[in-house]
Protein backbone atom coordinates (compact mmCIF):
# COMPACT_ATOMS: atom_id res chain seq x y z
CA UNK A 1 0.00 0.00 0.00
CA UNK A 2 3.00 2.32 0.10
CA UNK A 3 2.25 3.52 -3.43
CA UNK A 4 -0.84 5.37 -2.19
CA UNK A 5 1.14 7.41 0.33
CA UNK A 6 2.73 10.78 -0.26
CA UNK A 7 4.33 13.52 1.82
CA UNK A 8 6.15 11.40 4.39
CA UNK A 9 3.49 8.69 4.39
CA UNK A 10 0.93 10.90 6.13
CA UNK A 11 -1.29 12.32 3.38
CA UNK A 12 -3.01 9.72 1.20
CA UNK A 13 -3.57 10.24 -2.50
CA UNK A 14 -7.35 9.99 -3.13
CA UNK A 15 -6.87 8.88 -6.75
CA UNK A 16 -4.87 5.87 -5.59
CA UNK A 17 -7.22 4.82 -2.82
CA UNK A 18 -9.61 2.05 -3.82
CA UNK A 19 -13.20 1.97 -2.69
CA UNK A 20 -13.21 0.70 0.92
CA UNK A 21 -9.41 0.53 1.29
CA UNK A 22 -7.85 -1.88 3.74
CA UNK A 23 -7.01 0.45 6.62
CA UNK A 24 -5.18 -2.28 8.49
CA UNK A 25 -2.67 -2.47 5.63
CA UNK A 26 -2.45 1.31 5.31
CA UNK A 27 -1.63 1.75 9.00
CA UNK A 28 0.34 -1.48 9.25
CA UNK A 29 -1.67 -2.70 12.21
CA UNK A 30 -5.17 -3.64 13.31
CA UNK A 31 -6.74 -1.09 15.64
CA UNK A 32 -10.03 0.74 16.24
CA UNK A 33 -10.63 3.31 13.52
CA UNK A 34 -11.80 6.88 14.17
CA UNK A 35 -12.50 9.73 11.77
CA UNK A 36 -12.45 13.51 12.08
CA UNK A 37 -14.13 15.47 9.31
CA UNK A 38 -12.77 18.97 8.74
CA UNK A 39 -9.52 18.79 10.70
CA UNK A 40 -8.45 22.41 10.21
CA UNK A 41 -4.82 22.76 11.25
CA UNK A 42 -4.90 19.29 12.81
CA UNK A 43 -4.47 20.16 16.47
CA UNK A 44 -7.52 18.20 17.64
CA UNK A 45 -6.58 15.14 15.59
CA UNK A 46 -3.01 15.21 16.90
CA UNK A 47 -4.32 15.50 20.46
CA UNK A 48 -6.72 12.62 19.83
CA UNK A 49 -3.97 10.41 18.40
CA UNK A 50 -1.61 11.20 21.28
CA UNK A 51 -4.30 10.41 23.83
CA UNK A 52 -5.19 7.16 22.05
CA UNK A 53 -1.96 5.58 20.70
CA UNK A 54 -3.74 2.25 20.15
CA UNK A 55 -6.31 3.85 17.82
CA UNK A 56 -5.89 4.57 14.11
CA UNK A 57 -6.99 8.14 13.33
CA UNK A 58 -8.08 9.39 9.90
CA UNK A 59 -8.62 13.08 9.20
CA UNK A 60 -10.21 14.55 6.08
CA UNK A 61 -9.84 18.16 4.95
CA UNK A 62 -10.40 19.89 1.60
CA UNK A 63 -8.37 23.04 2.31
CA UNK A 64 -4.81 22.45 1.07
CA UNK A 65 -3.15 24.97 3.40
CA UNK A 66 -4.84 23.47 6.45
CA UNK A 67 -3.94 19.98 5.26
CA UNK A 68 -0.25 20.85 5.04
CA UNK A 69 -0.32 22.48 8.47
CA UNK A 70 -1.93 19.34 9.87
CA UNK A 71 0.69 17.18 8.16
CA UNK A 72 3.44 19.23 9.79
CA UNK A 73 1.81 18.81 13.22
CA UNK A 74 1.55 15.05 12.76
CA UNK A 75 5.16 14.87 11.61
CA UNK A 76 6.43 17.02 14.48
CA UNK A 77 4.59 14.83 16.98
CA UNK A 78 6.12 11.73 15.30
CA UNK A 79 2.74 10.01 15.21
CA UNK A 80 2.39 6.71 13.36
CA UNK A 81 -1.36 6.33 13.92
CA UNK A 82 -2.59 9.27 11.78
CA UNK A 83 -3.41 9.46 8.09
CA UNK A 84 -4.86 12.47 6.26
CA UNK A 85 -7.03 12.54 3.14
CA UNK A 86 -7.84 15.61 0.98
CA UNK A 87 -11.52 14.82 0.45
CA UNK A 88 -14.95 16.23 1.25
CA UNK A 89 -16.45 14.73 4.39
CA UNK A 90 -19.57 12.94 3.16
CA UNK A 91 -17.67 11.60 0.14
CA UNK A 92 -14.97 10.19 2.41
CA UNK A 93 -17.52 8.62 4.74
CA UNK A 94 -19.36 7.07 1.80
CA UNK A 95 -16.36 5.86 -0.18
CA UNK A 96 -13.53 5.08 2.20
CA UNK A 97 -15.19 3.20 5.04
CA UNK A 98 -16.93 -0.12 4.84
CA UNK A 99 -20.07 -0.75 6.89
CA UNK A 100 -19.47 -1.10 10.63
CA UNK A 101 -15.79 -0.18 10.65
CA UNK A 102 -15.68 3.21 12.42
CA UNK A 103 -15.47 3.47 16.18
CA UNK A 104 -16.15 7.19 16.32
CA UNK A 105 -16.68 10.31 14.20
CA UNK A 106 -15.67 13.77 15.42
CA UNK A 107 -16.96 17.01 13.94
CA UNK A 108 -15.54 20.23 15.38
CA UNK A 109 -17.16 23.52 14.40
CA UNK A 110 -18.46 22.51 10.96
CA UNK A 111 -19.41 25.34 8.64
CA UNK A 112 -22.91 26.38 9.80
CA UNK A 113 -23.92 28.00 6.48
CA UNK A 114 -25.96 30.64 8.27
CA UNK A 115 -27.96 31.91 5.31
CA UNK A 116 -31.30 30.19 4.81
CA UNK A 117 -30.61 29.46 1.15
CA UNK A 118 -27.32 27.78 2.10
CA UNK A 119 -28.70 25.44 4.78
CA UNK A 120 -28.79 22.53 2.37
CA UNK A 121 -24.98 22.69 2.20
CA UNK A 122 -24.62 21.67 5.84
CA UNK A 123 -22.84 18.38 6.30
CA UNK A 124 -25.11 17.04 9.02
CA UNK A 125 -28.68 16.20 8.11
CA UNK A 126 -30.96 13.19 8.43
CA UNK A 127 -29.38 11.41 5.45
CA UNK A 128 -25.93 11.91 6.99
CA UNK A 129 -27.14 10.40 10.28
CA UNK A 130 -28.32 7.29 8.44
CA UNK A 131 -25.10 7.06 6.43
CA UNK A 132 -22.99 7.28 9.57
CA UNK A 133 -25.13 4.64 11.26
CA UNK A 134 -24.14 2.21 8.53
CA UNK A 135 -20.43 2.97 9.01
CA UNK A 136 -20.24 2.90 12.82
CA UNK A 137 -19.65 -0.27 14.77
CA UNK A 138 -22.13 -1.16 17.49
CA UNK A 139 -21.63 1.32 20.37
CA UNK A 140 -19.75 3.60 17.97
CA UNK A 141 -20.05 7.31 18.78
CA UNK A 142 -20.77 10.61 17.07
CA UNK A 143 -19.46 13.79 18.70
CA UNK A 144 -20.04 17.27 17.30
CA UNK A 145 -19.34 20.70 18.73
CA UNK A 146 -20.62 23.99 17.35
CA UNK A 147 -21.19 27.53 18.53
CA UNK A 148 -24.31 27.88 16.37
CA UNK A 149 -27.33 26.62 18.30
CA UNK A 150 -29.71 26.31 15.29
CA UNK A 151 -27.24 23.87 13.69
CA UNK A 152 -26.94 21.97 16.97
CA UNK A 153 -30.72 21.58 17.18
CA UNK A 154 -30.86 20.54 13.53
CA UNK A 155 -28.22 17.87 14.14
CA UNK A 156 -30.10 16.56 17.18
CA UNK A 157 -33.31 16.31 15.17
CA UNK A 158 -31.50 14.46 12.37
CA UNK A 159 -29.94 11.84 14.68
CA UNK A 160 -33.09 11.47 16.76
CA UNK A 161 -35.05 10.66 13.59
CA UNK A 162 -32.76 7.69 12.86
CA UNK A 163 -33.62 4.62 14.98
CA UNK A 164 -29.98 3.48 15.12
CA UNK A 165 -29.02 5.88 17.91
CA UNK A 166 -29.46 6.81 21.51
CA UNK A 167 -28.07 9.94 23.22
CA UNK A 168 -24.50 9.61 24.43
CA UNK A 169 -25.46 11.29 27.71
CA UNK A 170 -28.76 11.73 29.56
CA UNK A 171 -29.64 14.26 26.89
CA UNK A 172 -27.97 14.62 23.48
CA UNK A 173 -26.95 18.25 24.07
CA UNK A 174 -24.46 19.67 26.56
CA UNK A 175 -22.91 23.10 26.87
CA UNK A 176 -19.81 21.77 28.66
CA UNK A 177 -17.78 18.61 28.16
CA UNK A 178 -14.94 18.05 30.57
CA UNK A 179 -11.68 16.87 29.03
CA UNK A 180 -12.64 17.68 25.45
CA UNK A 181 -9.85 19.47 23.60
CA UNK A 182 -10.45 23.14 22.76
CA UNK A 183 -9.40 23.92 19.20
CA UNK A 184 -8.35 27.40 18.06
CA UNK A 185 -11.96 28.12 17.13
CA UNK A 186 -13.13 27.08 20.58
CA UNK A 187 -10.54 29.33 22.19
CA UNK A 188 -11.52 32.19 19.88
CA UNK A 189 -15.25 31.84 20.56
CA UNK A 190 -14.58 31.42 24.29
CA UNK A 191 -12.73 34.73 24.38
CA UNK A 192 -15.75 36.34 22.73
CA UNK A 193 -18.04 34.88 25.36
CA UNK A 194 -19.89 32.53 23.03
CA UNK A 195 -21.50 29.31 24.21
CA UNK A 196 -20.55 25.88 22.89
CA UNK A 197 -23.01 23.12 22.06
CA UNK A 198 -21.81 19.52 22.26
CA UNK A 199 -23.96 16.90 20.54
CA UNK A 200 -23.38 13.21 21.28
CA UNK A 201 -25.02 10.00 20.05
CA UNK A 202 -24.19 6.30 20.29
CA UNK A 203 -25.15 3.63 17.79
CA UNK A 204 -27.21 0.94 19.49
CA UNK A 205 -28.75 -1.00 16.60
CA UNK A 206 -28.01 -1.90 13.00
CA UNK A 207 -30.20 -0.39 10.31
CA UNK A 208 -30.43 -0.92 6.56
CA UNK A 209 -29.86 2.18 4.49
CA UNK A 210 -33.08 3.36 2.82
CA UNK A 211 -33.07 3.96 -0.92
CA UNK A 212 -33.40 7.72 -0.47
CA UNK A 213 -30.14 7.79 1.52
CA UNK A 214 -28.34 5.83 -1.20
CA UNK A 215 -29.63 8.32 -3.76
CA UNK A 216 -28.26 11.14 -1.61
CA UNK A 217 -24.87 9.43 -1.22
CA UNK A 218 -24.41 7.23 -4.32
CA UNK A 219 -20.89 6.23 -3.30
CA UNK A 220 -22.31 4.45 -0.26
CA UNK A 221 -23.56 1.56 -2.37
CA UNK A 222 -20.28 0.93 -4.22
CA UNK A 223 -18.52 -2.38 -3.60
CA UNK A 224 -15.22 -1.59 -5.31
CA UNK A 225 -15.60 -4.11 -8.13
CA UNK A 226 -17.84 -1.99 -10.37
CA UNK A 227 -17.34 -2.39 -14.12
CA UNK A 228 -16.27 0.60 -16.19
CA UNK A 229 -19.14 1.48 -18.53
CA UNK A 230 -18.41 1.45 -22.24
CA UNK A 231 -20.46 1.19 -25.42
CA UNK A 232 -19.31 -0.24 -28.75
CA UNK A 233 -21.16 0.94 -31.83
CA UNK A 234 -20.69 -1.03 -35.04
CA UNK A 235 -20.44 1.08 -38.18
CA UNK A 236 -20.37 0.04 -41.84
CA UNK A 237 -19.02 3.33 -43.19
CA UNK A 238 -16.04 5.53 -42.27
CA UNK A 239 -16.86 8.12 -39.61
CA UNK A 240 -16.77 11.79 -40.55
CA UNK A 241 -15.35 13.01 -37.23
CA UNK A 242 -15.59 16.70 -38.13
CA UNK A 243 -19.31 16.42 -38.88
CA UNK A 244 -19.94 14.27 -35.82
CA UNK A 245 -18.10 16.75 -33.60
CA UNK A 246 -20.19 19.64 -34.95
CA UNK A 247 -23.35 17.63 -34.21
CA UNK A 248 -22.42 16.80 -30.64
CA UNK A 249 -24.62 18.47 -28.02
CA UNK A 250 -23.41 20.88 -25.39
CA UNK A 251 -25.34 21.61 -22.23
CA UNK A 252 -27.93 19.65 -20.29
CA UNK A 253 -28.13 16.10 -21.60
CA UNK A 254 -30.30 14.60 -18.85
CA UNK A 255 -32.07 15.80 -15.72
CA UNK A 256 -34.22 14.20 -13.07
CA UNK A 257 -34.79 16.47 -10.12
CA UNK A 258 -31.40 17.77 -9.00
CA UNK A 259 -29.53 14.90 -10.70
CA UNK A 260 -28.05 15.95 -14.03
CA UNK A 261 -25.71 14.95 -16.83
CA UNK A 262 -24.17 18.03 -18.40
CA UNK A 263 -21.88 18.28 -21.43
CA UNK A 264 -19.52 21.16 -20.72
CA UNK A 265 -17.73 20.96 -24.07
CA UNK A 266 -16.51 18.60 -26.79
CA UNK A 267 -13.06 18.59 -28.36
CA UNK A 268 -12.06 17.16 -31.73
CA UNK A 269 -8.95 15.01 -32.02
CA UNK A 270 -7.53 12.52 -34.49
CA UNK A 271 -10.32 10.02 -35.05
CA UNK A 272 -11.81 10.87 -31.69
CA UNK A 273 -13.95 13.31 -29.74
CA UNK A 274 -13.36 14.10 -26.07
CA UNK A 275 -16.44 15.13 -24.09
CA UNK A 276 -16.09 17.10 -20.86
CA UNK A 277 -18.88 15.85 -18.59
CA UNK A 278 -20.29 16.88 -15.23
CA UNK A 279 -22.50 14.34 -13.47
CA UNK A 280 -24.44 15.30 -10.35
CA UNK A 281 -26.14 12.67 -8.19
CA UNK A 282 -27.52 13.56 -4.80
CA UNK A 283 -24.68 15.32 -2.97
CA UNK A 284 -22.01 13.96 -5.30
CA UNK A 285 -20.64 15.81 -8.31
CA UNK A 286 -18.06 14.22 -10.62
CA UNK A 287 -16.37 15.88 -13.57
CA UNK A 288 -14.54 13.69 -16.05
CA UNK A 289 -13.72 13.19 -19.72
CA UNK A 290 -15.37 10.63 -21.96
CA UNK A 291 -13.70 9.35 -25.11
CA UNK A 292 -15.55 8.74 -28.37
CA UNK A 293 -12.94 7.10 -30.56
CA UNK A 294 -12.37 4.83 -33.53
CA UNK A 295 -12.43 1.10 -32.86
CA UNK A 296 -11.85 -1.82 -35.18
CA UNK A 297 -15.59 -2.56 -35.02
CA UNK A 298 -16.63 1.08 -35.34
CA UNK A 299 -16.80 3.54 -32.43
CA UNK A 300 -16.11 3.06 -28.72
CA UNK A 301 -17.61 5.37 -26.09
CA UNK A 302 -16.10 5.13 -22.61
CA UNK A 303 -14.53 7.05 -19.75
CA UNK A 304 -11.24 8.54 -20.92
CA UNK A 305 -8.16 6.75 -19.62
CA UNK A 306 -6.93 9.97 -17.98
CA UNK A 307 -10.11 10.29 -15.87
CA UNK A 308 -10.87 8.33 -12.72
CA UNK A 309 -14.48 8.84 -11.65
CA UNK A 310 -16.18 6.36 -9.39
CA UNK A 311 -18.43 4.21 -11.53
CA UNK A 312 -21.75 5.23 -10.03
CA UNK A 313 -25.08 4.89 -11.82
CA UNK A 314 -24.73 8.52 -12.88
CA UNK A 315 -21.46 7.78 -14.70
CA UNK A 316 -23.05 4.73 -16.36
CA UNK A 317 -25.97 6.95 -17.36
CA UNK A 318 -23.67 9.60 -18.84
CA UNK A 319 -21.83 7.07 -21.02
CA UNK A 320 -25.11 5.48 -22.12
CA UNK A 321 -26.63 8.85 -23.06
CA UNK A 322 -23.50 9.95 -24.88
CA UNK A 323 -23.33 6.73 -26.89
CA UNK A 324 -27.03 6.83 -27.78
CA UNK A 325 -26.62 10.45 -28.87
CA UNK A 326 -23.68 9.49 -31.12
CA UNK A 327 -25.76 6.64 -32.54
CA UNK A 328 -28.55 9.09 -33.36
CA UNK A 329 -26.20 11.17 -35.51
CA UNK A 330 -24.84 8.10 -37.30
CA UNK A 331 -27.78 6.39 -39.03
CA UNK A 332 -25.56 3.49 -40.12
CA UNK A 333 -24.42 2.73 -36.55
CA UNK A 334 -25.73 -0.29 -34.66
CA UNK A 335 -25.24 -1.26 -31.05
CA UNK A 336 -22.64 -4.03 -30.81
CA UNK A 337 -22.55 -4.33 -27.01
CA UNK A 338 -22.36 -2.28 -23.81
CA UNK A 339 -21.35 -2.74 -20.16
CA UNK A 340 -23.63 -0.04 -18.77
CA UNK A 341 -25.88 -0.88 -15.85
CA UNK A 342 -28.97 -2.52 -17.34
CA UNK A 343 -31.56 -0.37 -15.62
CA UNK A 344 -29.62 2.80 -16.33
CA UNK A 345 -29.31 1.85 -20.01
CA UNK A 346 -33.07 1.30 -20.30
CA UNK A 347 -33.74 4.63 -18.59
CA UNK A 348 -31.41 6.40 -21.04
CA UNK A 349 -33.14 4.81 -24.03
CA UNK A 350 -36.58 5.77 -22.68
CA UNK A 351 -35.47 9.28 -21.81
CA UNK A 352 -34.06 10.02 -25.26
CA UNK A 353 -37.12 8.53 -26.92
CA UNK A 354 -39.33 10.96 -24.99
CA UNK A 355 -37.56 14.07 -26.25
CA UNK A 356 -37.84 15.13 -29.84
CA UNK A 357 -34.07 15.42 -30.28
CA UNK A 358 -30.92 16.16 -28.28
CA UNK A 359 -31.20 19.76 -29.50
CA UNK A 360 -34.31 20.18 -27.36
CA UNK A 361 -32.10 20.24 -24.25
CA UNK A 362 -28.62 20.80 -25.67
CA UNK A 363 -26.92 23.18 -28.04
CA UNK A 364 -24.77 21.68 -30.84
CA UNK A 365 -21.15 22.81 -31.17
Angle between helices 342-354 and 313-329 (to 10 degrees): 50
Angle between helices 64-76 and 43-51 (to 10 degrees): 30
Query: SS in 3 state form for the chain?
Result: CHHHEEHHHHEECHHHCCCCCCHHHHHCCCCCEEEEECCCCCHHHHHHHHHCCCCEEEEECCCHHHHHHHHHHHHHCCCCCEEEECCCHHHHHHHHCCCCCEEEEEEECCCCCCCHHHHHHCCCCHHHHHHHHHHEEEEEEEEEEECCHHHHHHHHHHHHCCCCEEECCCCCEECCCCCCCCCHHHHHHHHCCCCCEEEEEEECCCCCCCHHHHHHCHHHHCCCCCCCCEEEEECCCCCCHHHHHHHCEEEEEEEECCEEEEEEEEEEECCEEEEEEEEEECCEEEEEEEEEEEECCEEEEEECCCCCCCCCHHHHHHHHHHHHHHHHHCCCCEEEEECCCHHHHHHHHHHHHHCCCHHHCEEEC
Q: Is 276 known to be catalytic? A: no
Active-site pick, 111, 225, 270, 310: 111
**Alpha-carbon gap, residue 234 to 178, rounded angstroms:** 69
Active-site residues: which are they?
A: 111
Amino acid sequence: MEEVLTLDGIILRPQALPVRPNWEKIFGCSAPLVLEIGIGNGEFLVWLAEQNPAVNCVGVEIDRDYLLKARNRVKSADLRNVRLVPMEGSKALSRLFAPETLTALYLNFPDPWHKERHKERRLVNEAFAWLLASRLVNKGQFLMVTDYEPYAQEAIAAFTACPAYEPLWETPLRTELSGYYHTKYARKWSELGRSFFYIGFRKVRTVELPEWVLRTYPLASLRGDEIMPHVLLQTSQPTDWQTLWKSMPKGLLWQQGSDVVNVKDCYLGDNCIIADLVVTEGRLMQRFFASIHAHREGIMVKVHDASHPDFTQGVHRAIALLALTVKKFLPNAKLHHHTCDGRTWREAVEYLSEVNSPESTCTPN
